[in-house]
Amino acid sequence: MLSFYPGPSKVYPEVLGFIQEAFDEGMVSINHRSPRFEKLLKATLDSLHEQWNIPTDYTIYFISSATEAWEIVSQSLVEKKSMHLYNGAFGKKWAHYARQIHPESISHEFDLQASLHDISTGLDLSDTDTLCLVQSETSNGSGQQIKRSDYAIDPSCLIAVDATSSMGGILLPWLEADVWLASVQKCMGIPAGLGLLICSPKALARAEKLQKRAHYNDILLMEENRKLFQTHYTPNVLSIFVLHKLTQFLPNLTQIHAQTLEKAKMLEDFWISQTGFELKFLIDNPALRLPTVLALQGNPADIQRIKSKCFISQIELGNGYGTWKENTVRIANFPSHTPADLEQLFNSLSHGL
C-alpha cells in the first residue's frame, strides 16, 4: 500500500535496511547512558544541524512526539500567559491543553483563508510572554510564514512554532522563533514514536529564569542530560539511529525544499487540469497552501469516490479532519514521496474517467 496519508505516511524504503543494520550492530539493545549511545546522539544532533541548516546555538532535544512538546512549552517556558493563534484543529488543541496548565492563557482563531500576517495587527500581546503559532496546520493543509517582526511583542516574549508537517521537508526560518517542534512520521519519513524540540538560547534563558523542575520532561532536566549527549528518559534508540542514517543518506534540506516545491506544483497542476472530479482547493490562496499537505474540498460522494478508486489501486489518501472530515481529502507530499509515486496516484485517479 502506497500511503499518502498526512502522517503517519510513507516511510523511506531505505529505512528497512537501516533497521536491519541497527539490529545487526546491536544498537537496538544499547544502554542510553553508554558511550555508544552518547556517540550516536552527538552524531545525530551534529547531522541535523548541518543538513537542516539549524543555527549552532539552537539546542535539539528528542522527545516522544510533537504533542508532548506542547506540554513542555507550557510547563517549562510559559511564565504566566501564552497566546495561541490558530485556524485549525491542532492549533486549537494546543491552546486547550495550554489553558489546563496556565488558565490565563488565551487564543485567537482566525479565518482559514487569512495569513498570520493579516491578523497580527490589532492583537493585544502586551502581557503575553509566549506566542504560540502553527506553521503547518495538518488538519486543513494551510501553511504560514513565521516572521517575528509581524507581532507587537515585548523583546522578552518567546515565539513557539508547531512545524509538525513541514520540519524536514521545507526550509524553516529558525531565527524567527525560539521553539520549534515536530514529529518524525511525516516529513522525516520514519515510523512514529519520536519527536523533536528545538530551542534557541533565549528559550533556554527563560527556562533558567523560571527554574521549573516539577516534571520529568522539564527543559532544565532535559538539558542536564543533553550536555552529556544523553536523553532524560530511555529514548527510541532505533528511531534516532534511523534518523541519523537518513540525514547521512539524504541531501541537504535546501535541495529537499526545492524538490518538495516541485512536487507540490505537480499536485496542484494535476487538480487544476482534472475534470473528472468536482473538487477545489480548500485553501484558496496558493501562497497559504502547505506544500507538504494538499487539502481538496468537494461533496462527500466525490471524496469517497476518489478514496475508493485509490484504495483499489493500493493507494491510501488522507481523510478529512475535524470540521472538514466529510468534505475534504488530504494528500501528503513528503520527501519520501517521489515523482513516480505522484504519477502512480495520477494514473489511478485518471483511469476510467
| CA-based torsion, 47, 50, 54, 56: positive or negative | positive
What does pLDDT average to over the chain?
Answer: 96
The arithmetic mean of pLDDT across residues 1-23, rounded, is 97
Does the structure show a pLDDT above 70 at 11? Answer: yes
- 344: cell is 502512480
CA distance 68 to 183: 10
Residue 208, pLDDT score? 98
**Total length of the chain:** 353
CA distance 18 to 41: 16
* Radius of gyration of the CA atoms of the chain, in A: 20
Same domain as 240, residue 331: no
Residues 6+ apart with CB under 8 A from 274: 349, 350
Same domain as 59, residue 165: yes
Same domain as 106, residue 187: yes
212-245 confidence digits (pLDDT tens) = 999 999 999 999 999 999 999 999 999 999 999 9
Residue 56, pLDDT score? 97
Task: Count the domains in the chain.
Answer: 2
Residue 193, pLDDT score? 95
Does the structure show a pLDDT above 70 at 112? Answer: yes
Residues 109 and 88: beta-carbon distance below 8 Å? no
The arithmetic mean of pLDDT across residues 285-308, rounded, is 95
Residue 93, pLDDT score? 97
Does the structure show a pLDDT above 70 at 353? Answer: no
Which helix (H) or strand (E) segment holds residue 108: the answer is: strand 106-109
CA distance 246 to 250: 6
Does the structure show a pLDDT above 90 at 94? Answer: yes
Residue 10, pLDDT score? 97
Identify the band that residue 61 occupies on the pLDDT scale cut at 50, 70 and 90.
very high
Identify the band that residue 251 occupies on the pLDDT scale cut at 50, 70 and 90.
very high
Does the structure show a pLDDT above 80 at 125? Answer: yes
Beta strands across the sheet bearing 130-134: 59-63, 195-199, 179-183, 158-162, 130-134, 82-86, 106-109
Looking at the chain, the whole-number percentage of residues with pLDDT higher than 70 is 99
Domain hosting residue 160, numbered range: 14-249
Same domain as 259, residue 226: no
Does the structure show a pLDDT above 60 at 352? Answer: no
Burial 303-322 (b: 16+ CB within 10 A, else e): beebbebbeeeebbbbebbe
Does the structure show a pLDDT above 70 at 250? Answer: yes
Does the structure show a pLDDT above 70 at 23? Answer: yes
The arithmetic mean of pLDDT across residues 103-107, rounded, is 97
CA distance 243 to 237: 10
Q: In this predicted structure, which of 143-147, 259-263, 275-279, 310-314 has the lowest mean pLDDT?
A: 275-279
Of 249, 271, 296, the residue at which a domain comes to its end is 249
Query: Exposed, middle or buried by CB within 10 Å (0-12, 13-18, 19+), for 171?
Result: middle
Cross-strand partners of 169: none
Of 221, 249, 277, the residue at which a domain comes to its end is 249
Residue 199, pLDDT score? 98
The CATH number of the domain holding residue 286 is 3.90.1150.10
Query: Exposed, middle or buried by CB within 10 Å (0-12, 13-18, 19+), for 175?
Result: exposed
DSSP state for residue 115 in the 8-state scheme: -
Residue 245, pLDDT score? 98
Same domain as 280, residue 145: no
Residue 122, pLDDT score? 84
